[in-house]
Chain A
Amino acid sequence: MLPIALSELVQIFRNRLVLVTSFIMPVAIAAFFIYRHELFASVGSLGYIAAIVMFTVGAFGLYTTTVTTLASRRQNLFLKRLRSTAIGDAGILSGLLLPVTVIALVQVVVILVVLAVVAGGPDNVVLLAAAVVSMLVMMLGLGLATAGLTNSPEHAQVTTLPVSIGTIAVASWVGIAGTEELTLVKRLLPGGSATELVVNAWNGGVAVTDSLLLLAPTLAWVIVAVTLASRMFRWEPRR
């Protein structure tokens, strides 16, 4: 697994397009949110800013790169090549997705630390960490499922839009409007409960046990995504 992960890291840094669109752009957007944190905090709260920058990295960094990488590696038969070796499928996928996951995690941590330094820190760091990890796992699962529907890297520009735009929209809706109204709908939408969890963790004022329950919908999305991926994921291009 590690040799694949290392080669994937090399490829990421050699491909300027991937580097810019998937890693630099999300950071630039997050930097803007932090720079104008007083404005965005007045619209929502600091918790909202934390959620939106987290989902910006999760959607445009991790999710989109996961789909693009898997579609690209499938299209040029690199997945088939890897499967002609002795390593198992889980090892191949782990190796391919480990670098982008670690990069996304580092990005989110650095961005949230900067936000904490600039605008004030979170109320509950452990809860925030749980929200970050659950969001990353959910976006990975959705990425695997979407990759099953994506024929090429070019096709990924279309197939990733519903989830990436959708989760950002849900994060904005929940982060700004809260969950007092349409509570169930907002929590069941992908990213809704994770956003509420981040807002609670950052702003405080909600019992930890109540907040922890919000992990359930996110984990349910992980199960849905992995189930879909196991049915739809293809290792070779359609003939």
Chain B
Amino acid sequence: MTSTAVIDVEHLHLSYGDFHAVRDLSFQVRQGELYALLGTNGAGKTSTLETVEGHRAATSGTVRVFGQSPRDRRAVRSRMGIMLQESGFSPDLTVKESVGLIGGLTGRTDRVDRVLHIVDLTRKAGTRVSQLSGGEKRRLDFATAVYGTPELVFLDEPTTGLDIQSRDDLWATVGRLREAGSTIVLTTHYLEEAQQHADRIGLMHQGTFHREGTVAELTRTLPAVIRFGLPTPAPALPVQATREADGRFLVETFSLQKDLHVVLRWARDNGLELRDLEAGPTRLDDVFRAIGTE
């Protein structure tokens, strides 16, 4: 393990009976980075995350968090905050009581009022959990995860069910945690969030990594795209293109600027309007979609 690795997973294998949920998975998360664990449904990311959190025992392989087994709760839990995928709060306790109870049991110290202010639940402090909306429950979950500013924070689909303002607030808080030196491990189905915030991404498929790296490293393996519609009839295109189901043309290129320039000059020279013109670099969505075709 390198000196700055907060999480070190080596040859992790997880089985449920005959089903192999995770197979020979190895990765590290370095101190201060935001690492996103992405994958298709059933790819094994939740099993992986729960093993790293210490909720689940590995079938084989080793998992170290802060150099220790995550199953040793007393040793590691005071240093980590966990936002679960589902609520897990007692419906008969109030918001303030819930944060005070769970936060206090983490072994960290903080002021409940401060944490409630961060997640904009101050007005709901006296409300029972059973009366919260889905988004408010997610914010309550986030509050317990960031209680006491832990060194390592697990965020399991943190923005599911949140409105846009709450999402922005959550990411602002994550940004402040990172400024304070916290390491973040994220799973999400919102790929644009991972693309925007993650330093590195582990892309899982069928229990192991399909790819791992920075957003740039993942996207550079696929071509950028130019899409446009043309009036008919139209002269022959100056670049290789395929026609999509909606009638538009798709140009896939590793030289986006050059080929876009060629297409625009060709359109100008022929007096054509390129309808619904789109051009841009490869997005994480494209990498994600390519999983099934490779």
Is B one of A's binding partners? Answer: yes
List A residues at the B interface (Cβ < 8 Å). 3-4, 7, 10-11, 14-15, 73, 76-78, 80-88, 236
CB pairs A–B below 8 angstroms (13 shown): A7-B97, A10-B92, A11-B93, A77-B84, A77-B87, A77-B88, A78-B89, A78-B90, A80-B55, A84-B84, A84-B88, A85-B102, A85-B107
Interface of A is mostly: helix
Q: Is B280 an interface residue (CB 8 A)?
A: no
Q: A86-B74, A88-B73 known; A80 and B88 CB under 8 Å?
A: yes
A2, chain B: closest CB distance, angstroms: 10
Q: Is B105 an interface residue (CB 8 A)?
A: yes
What is the bound-complex CA distance between A4 and B92, given in angstroms?
A: 13
Q: A84-B53, A85-B106, A87-B73 known; A4 and B87 CB under 8 Å?
A: no
What is the bound-complex CA distance between A7 and B97, given in angstroms?
A: 8
Known interface pairs A10-B92, A85-B77; 4 further A-B residue pairs with C-beta atoms within 8 A, sorted by A's residue number: A7-B97, A78-B89, A84-B88, A86-B78
- A15's partner among B74, B92, B100, B104 (CB-CB below 8 A) is B92
Is the CB–CB distance between B105 and A3 below 8 Å? yes
Is the CB–CB distance between A4 and B86 below 8 Å? no
- B88's partner among A3, A7, A15, A76 (CB-CB below 8 A) is A76
Is the CB–CB distance between A86 and B106 below 8 Å? yes
Is the CB–CB distance between A81 and B88 below 8 Å? yes
Number of A-B contacts (CB under 8 A): 68
Inter-chain contacts of A78 with B (CB < 8 A): 88-90
What is the bound-complex CA distance between A88 and B102, given in angstroms?
A: 13
Inter-chain contacts of A77 with B (CB < 8 A): 84, 86-88
Inter-chain contacts of B78 with A (CB < 8 A): 86
What is the bound-complex CA distance between A4 and B107, given in angstroms?
A: 14
A97, chain B: closest CB distance, angstroms: 15
- B91's partner among A4, A76, A84, A236 (CB-CB below 8 A) is A76
Q: A82-B105, A84-B77, A84-B82 known; A76 and B92 CB under 8 Å?
A: no
Inter-chain contacts of B91 with A (CB < 8 A): 76
Q: A77-B84, A77-B86 known; A85 and B105 CB under 8 Å?
A: yes
Q: Is B180 an interface residue (CB 8 A)?
A: no
